[in-house]
Amino acid sequence: MRTTILVTGGAGYIGAHIVLELLKAGYSVVVLDNFSNSSKQSILRVNRLAKKTATIVEGSISDRECLYKIFGAYEVSAVLHLAGLKAVGESSKEPLRYYQNNFSGTLVLCEAMDKFNIKNIVFSSSATVYGEPDKIPITECSQTGNTTNPYGTSKYMVERVLSDLCAADSGWSSVVLRYFNPVGAHKSGLIGEDPKGTPCNLVPYLLQVAVGKQTELKVYGNDYPTADGTGVRDYIHVVDLAKGHLMALKLIEDKAPFGIDVINLGTGRGYSVLEIIDAFQKETLQSIPFRYTDRRPGDIAACFADPEYAYKRLNWRAKLKLEDMVRDAWRWQSKNPNGYN
């Protein structure tokens, strides 16, 4: 019987939290990561926390031989596919690298899976595929494809490939999870987000201001049509997000083959930038100096999920609150001011 889960990109921020939940739930796990944006340390810490061992394979999803070796050696029942480059600004400067890694790499992965008759995949997509939403909360039926950068377009293209693959072969089951804004860290403070260079996203940047690595937070625009003028997003605790993946696996175990299913993973609640700063200051008693600047190109005013389909299909809801997100993020950052180094 096949019992192993392959997690591509499993050493990354979200992957490490998923691997921990998988090990705790009794799965055997193989992590495939090329460490382009992570280190082995995250998985070594996960192993410590779980008191179990995930196997680490250093390699790329674009390396066919490496995939063949893994699928030949382990009884893989499903692939959780997180491997990818994710910096939006960088993707506009290096589109070929992003399409090569995120899109072509996924084609190689799917071909190898097909060859070994492994036809269950959970794909890490993003709310970015919705572009500027026509209405909020965003349901899975909202229009997609109006993406504004190569990163987002690569996610949209992979979604289309998975859809076509499932239409062509009824043996495939593919769960596309559209994440909203993952933040926070495991409550142990041992694993968390470790961005390389200057972070682009709000919470990692805010954490660096709090530990003195950045002097102030720039709030990108206070003239949006939102309650306080700043951008509104659906922040979701990374541990809730990880648990959503286990429910997606359960769906596969119970119902496969079912073709493609597309599911939002969000809380259904939006918070503005000022609300995030306020929650952070209250929870951690750290002061966050900030100033307003122009809007960031490509940003939208407000975005949050309709989480009902996730509840219906996966029996999953996000449980952790904003206070948990900021407290856990701060615990990670203050215990590891230099990340895993």
Among 11, 157, 246, 320, which residue interacts with ligand NAD (rule: CB under 6 A)? 11
What is the smallest separation between the CB atom of 126 and ligand NAD, expressed in angstroms? 3
Q: Does 144 bind ligand UD1 (CB under 6 A)?
A: no
Query: Are residues 83 and 9 in contact, defined by beta-carbon separation less than 8 angstroms?
Result: yes
Q: Does 83 bind ligand NAD (CB under 6 A)?
A: yes
What is the smallest separation between the CB atom of 218 and ligand UD1, expressed in angstroms? 5
Catalytic residues: 151
Q: Does 9 bind ligand NAD (CB under 6 A)?
A: yes
Sign of the Cα torsion 227, 232, 236, 237 reads: negative
d(CA 228, CA 247): 36
Q: Does 88 bind ligand UD1 (CB under 6 A)?
A: yes
Q: Does 60 bind ligand NAD (CB under 6 A)?
A: yes
Q: Does 101 bind ligand NAD (CB under 6 A)?
A: yes
Nearer to ligand UD1, 41 or 230 (CB): 230
Q: Does 137 bind ligand UD1 (CB under 6 A)?
A: no
Q: Does 207 bind ligand NAD (CB under 6 A)?
A: no
Q: Does 305 bind ligand NAD (CB under 6 A)?
A: no
Burial 172-183 (b: 16+ CB within 10 A, else e): bbbbbbbbbbbb
Q: Does 204 bind ligand NAD (CB under 6 A)?
A: no
Q: Does 86 bind ligand UD1 (CB under 6 A)?
A: yes
* Structural element, H or E, at residue 174: strand 173-179
* Total chain residues near ligand NAD (CB under 6 A): 29
Residue 158 to residues 111, 154, 176, 279, 319, Cα–Cα distance (Å): 13, 6, 10, 36, 29
- End-to-end Cα, the chain, rounded Å: 39
d(CA 200, CA 220): 11
Rounded (10°) angle between helices 13-24 and 238-255: 60
Nearer to ligand NAD, 69 or 282 (CB): 69
Number of other CB atoms surrounding residue 75 within 10 Å: 11
Nearer to ligand UD1, 109 or 273 (CB): 273
d(CA 173, CA 126): 19
Which residue carries 């940003």 as its tokens?
299
Interface with ligand UD1 by CB under 6 A: which range of 75-83, 201-209, 306-314, 316-324?
Answer: 201-209
Q: Does 243 bind ligand UD1 (CB under 6 A)?
A: no
CA angle 285, 179, 75 (to 5 degrees): 115
The site for ligand UD1 (CB under 6 A) is made up of 86, 88, 126, 128, 152, 181, 200-202, 205, 217-220, 231, 233, 273, 296, 298-299
The site for ligand NAD (CB under 6 A) is made up of 8-9, 11-15, 32-38, 60-62, 82-86, 101, 105, 124, 126, 179, 181-182
